[in-house]
Amino acid sequence: MIREERLIKKVKRLLRKANIPKWSRHFGPKTYEFLDHLFVLLVKQACKLSYRRVVKLLEELGFKVPSYSALCRMNKRAVKILEKLFYQTCAFAQVNVASIDATGISRTNPSRHYIKRIDRKKPVKLALKLTYVVDTKRKNLLALRCRARPRHDTKDIKYLLKRMGTKPKILVADKGYDTEWVHELAHEQGIITMIPSKKNTIRGFYRKKMKKHWRTRTYHRREISESLFGATKQKYGSSVSSKNIQAQKSDCYCRATLHNLSLHL
């Protein structure tokens, strides 16, 4: 019971830090606070349930919760709020070594019969692309980006570094991130990159400058991000059930928030 009280207090404190309003809308009936919606959305991700099943489960346990349709609308509308809430869980004074890597997460599809009924030509097979920045010491997620379509790994570097509250001292990554402008961008922000060079790549002023700081032992901290991908998929599932891209992003931010909160309980 003490553990549950700590979790509720922590979520309330995060809402206050992020300056998130008590109510989700200015107009309309004020029946449920945003905390009530957030509570159900977090339970949904933690228990790998659908909207209907999580509402039914919590009502049978005695909780007063919004309807499943209201939760579905909230999940689509609150992606910016959930993103802001996630970044409150990774505000640290100092980060020594951070690792950046990308993974895929599949999207569930309806049955073949339903696909035929709605005159869809083929099911959705394209997976979401998730790019994480991981604190290799605390095992926390520091930044996240979700894409509906695959893009090159370097496309997300600038976005992720901009949203990180605390810049790491060292950034490790695989060969896919070895580009001269990436080394230059990191150098301008005071970050040392440890990225192995691609085959037959020797040019680049900033690439050569960063090679002077190369340390194999530090570079292998990158493997922690790989293990974290497996851990989050085992805990929260390797697929998302939402159909709208905004709702899919909300699911990813909820999972990342849950992961960061679970490390400090």
Give the helix ranges, DSSP H, for 61-110: 68-77, 79-88
Pair 158, 44 in one domain: no
Pair 137, 226 in one domain: yes
Pair 112, 234 in one domain: yes
Residue 221 inside a domain? The answer is: yes
CATH number at residue 179: 3.30.420
pLDDT of residue 92: 82
Pair 67, 115 in one domain: no
Counted domains in the chain? 2
Containing structural domain, residue 29: 2-77
Residue 256 inside a domain? The answer is: no
Pair 114, 53 in one domain: no
Pair 125, 38 in one domain: no
pLDDT of residue 1: 44
Residue 174 inside a domain? The answer is: yes
Pair 62, 108 in one domain: no
Residue 263 inside a domain? The answer is: no
Pair 127, 46 in one domain: no
Pair 226, 117 in one domain: yes
pLDDT single digits (tens) 189-235: 999 999 998 888 878 899 888 888 999 999 999 999 999 999 999 99
Phi, psi of 227 (to 5 degrees): -70, -30
Calpha distance 147→28 (Å, rounded):
33
Residue 253 inside a domain? The answer is: no
Q: What is the mean pLDDT of the chain?
A: 88
Q: What is the DSSP letter of 230?
A: H
Read off the tokens for 98: 């951070």
pLDDT single digits (tens) 118-160: 787 777 678 899 999 999 999 999 999 999 988 999 999 999 9
Pair 71, 116 in one domain: no
Residue 91 inside a domain? The answer is: no
Pairing of the two strands 239-240 and 97-107? parallel
Residue 135 inside a domain? The answer is: yes
Residue 30 inside a domain? The answer is: yes
Residues in the chain: 265
Pair 8, 123 in one domain: no
Pair 135, 204 in one domain: yes
**Average pLDDT over every residue of 233-257:** 91
- The confidence band for 264, taking pLDDT boundaries of 50, 70 and 90, is low
The 10 Å CB-count burial string (b at 16+, else e) for 192-203 is bbbbbbeeeeee
User: In the beta sheet, which residues pair with residue 133?
Assistant: 100, 143
What is the DSSP track for 163-200? H-SS--SEEE--GGG--HHHHHHHHHTT-EEE-PPPTT
* Nearest in space to 43 (alpha carbons), one of 11, 89, 13: 11
**Average pLDDT over every residue of 75-99:** 90
Calpha distance 172→101 (Å, rounded):
9
- The confidence band for 20, taking pLDDT boundaries of 50, 70 and 90, is confident
Contacts 24+ apart (CB under 8 A), 192-201: 194/170, 194/218, 194/219, 195/171
Final residue of a domain: which of 14, 45, 77? 77
pTM, to two decimals: 0.88
Across 122-172, where does the E strand assignment appear?
128-135, 141-147, 170-172
First and final C-alpha spacing in the chain: 12
Assess whether pLDDT exceeds 90 at residue 168: yes
